[in-house]
Structure 1
Amino acid sequence: MYRRIYQTLCLIAFLAFGCNPKNETVDDNAAIVLETEEDWSQDDQEPEETETVGELEQSLIDAGLVDVKDIIPGVFVDLKYSSSDNFFGQDVYGDLYNCYLQTEVAEMLKKAYEHLQKYHPELTFLIYDGVRPLRVQQILWDNLDKPDSIKPLYVADPKIGGLHNYGVAVDLTLAWADSGEALDLGTAYDYFGYPAYPDREDQMLKEGKITQAHIDNRKILREAMKAGGFTGIGSEWWHFNAFSRKKAAELYGLVH
């Protein structure tokens, strides 16, 4: 069709210019701009979009870690330290919005996800944090308003490094697979108090601080993570480790 239009326009141009008996100059406003079929094809092409990787994210990629969603597309990610929705109200990850873990740990999390899908296909994981570079760990340590003797219950001492700093720990909750909306597990993420303690659930239930439904949801999360080879801790229902500190240090280096 474009070729036929082109031929027609050429004929019109010939009649307008070649058949002018007085060889008069044709007004510029009457000139017809001719485009070839190839020109139109180029104009129709949309510019390619390029995704920019930030400095922090590139450093994680260079360290050999993997984006969890590349391994498990069905999970949701909401990095709390890439926002002010955390215990000290500061964004310390900047433009990092993807969760990174060691490859082996991401594969373990995939097994946990498959277990969850088998028994609760309506649910998925909502990930709050994965690898945490030591430079960020220092900020969290400095801003935690607790005595130094208690701080290690919530944040690993950056002088030593914790499992998040090796990329072998993950913070997460349950969410509805169709919407990504988090289930209610009794407390917010990074809640510092007994209602968030798995070790205190019976006591908190008796005191009315959490409900049986909260405990049931936590058990679903724990069972799935256990199936993937993870272990929890006594003070945070959302935190799970793939390895011990000793094993992590043997396998990987601290992520700076």
Structure 2
Amino acid sequence: MHCEHIATCPDFRHLSSITGIDVDLRYAGPHNFVRRDLYGALDCAWLHRLAAEGVERAVDWLDAHARGHRLRVLDALRPHRVQVLLWDHLDGTGLRDYVADPARGSIHSFGMALDVTLVDAHGRELDMGSGFDEMSERSHPRLEADHLSTGVLTPVHLRHRELLRRAMAAGGFNAIEHEWWHFDMLDREHVRRHFIRVE
């Protein structure tokens, strides 16, 4: 299915239908590692309905356990054609581990993954110790204990990241090892086999 036709598919929900979140899609502007707008006229503020329901559960968890904090969605649906652009941009850089190979497909392209951070009651993003899309080991959740012991990350950074992970886990999302901001809904291979990829 092409992104231009997504509004006709009942399996997808627009981010505007989810209350209690902020939306700042970084690939719809220059604030990303490619440093240009990759979405253009495409409306990519969508998620599969299962992922959207998970975001609602995460919002409810934050409301109950960290009142005043909100999820800020940095990326949601990412059409396959944009995934190809990201993959090609990293050709020869040694950084392709941070981007799913289009030959297999990104879970973003099924509307079943999203990139998120947290903002406080004043709309300020919590300091996570590395930036969104920062392709360095500082971004790796699996290395957080080492980074804490060496001073690369602080206890505050880890508390912020853990709060985000707990909220997303309450929504049914799975974290990954090398990007604190990325969360998947359901098993990746199951999604690739059974869900609609948006081109």
User: Does the pair score TM above 0.5?
Assistant: yes
Separation (CA, whole Å) in 1 of partners of 2:9 and 2:146: 43
Greater percentage in strand: 2
> How do 1:159-174 residues align onto structure 2 when only pairs under 5 Å count?
159-174=103-118
Could you give the per-residue CA deviations for residues 119-170 of structure 1, whole angstroms, max 9, x where no partner exists? 011101000001111100000001125556x51x211111210211111001
Q: 1:202 to 1:145 in 2, by over 3 A?
A: farther
Separation (CA, whole Å) in 1 of partners of 2:79 and 2:172: 23
Separation (CA, whole Å) in 2 of partners of 1:109 and 1:197: 22
1:237 is matched by which residue type in structure 2? W
**Residue equivalent to 1:248:** 191
Instruction: Could you tell me which runs of 5 or more consecutive residues in structure 2 were left unpaired when the two chains were aligned.
Output: none
Q: 1:136 to 1:210 in 2, by over 3 A?
A: same
Q: Which has the higher contact order (CA 8 A, sep 6+)?
A: 2
Give the one of 14, 18, 25 matched to 1:67.
Answer: 14
For residue 118 of structure 2, give the secondary structure of its aligned residue in structure 1.
strand
> How do 1:131-210 residues align onto structure 2 when only pairs under 5 Å count?
131-144=77-90, 146-147=92-93, 151=96, 153-177=97-121, 179-210=122-153
CA contact (8 A) 2:71 2:119 kept: yes
Q: 1:175 to 1:102 in 2, by over 3 A?
A: same
CA contact (8 A) 2:140 2:179 kept: yes
Larger radius of gyration: 1
Separation (CA, whole Å) in 2 of partners of 1:98 and 1:168: 13
> How do 1:47-86 residues align onto structure 2 when only pairs under 5 Å count?
58-64=4-10, 65-70=12-17, 72-86=18-32
RMSD value, Cα: 1.8
For residue 204 of structure 1, give the secondary structure of its aligned residue in structure 2.
helix
| Aligned structure 1 segments of 4 or more residues deviating by more than 4 angstroms | 145-148
Shift of 1:209: 1.4
Shift of 1:97: 6.2
**Residue equivalent to 1:109:** 55
Instruction: Could you tell me which runs of 5 or more consecutive residues in structure 1 were left unpaired when the two chains were aligned.
Output: 1-55
CA contact (8 A) 1:99 1:127 kept: no
Q: 1:134 to 1:75 in 2, by over 3 A?
A: same
Residue identity over aligned pairs, in percent, reads: 35
Give the one of 212, 215, 219 matched to 2:162.
Answer: 219
Separation (CA, whole Å) in 2 of partners of 1:142 and 1:216: 35
CA contact (8 A) 2:19 2:56 kept: no
2:16 is matched by which residue type in structure 1? K
Could you give the per-residue CA deviations for residues 38-77 of structure 1, whole angstroms, max 9, x where no partner exists? xxxxxxxxxxxxxxxxxx864332344211230x221100
For residue 181 of structure 1, give the secondary structure of its aligned residue in structure 2.
coil
> How do 1:78-97 residues align onto structure 2 when only pairs under 5 Å count?
78-96=24-42
Q: TM-score, normalised by structure 1?
A: 0.72
Separation (CA, whole Å) in 1 of partners of 2:70 and 2:142: 24
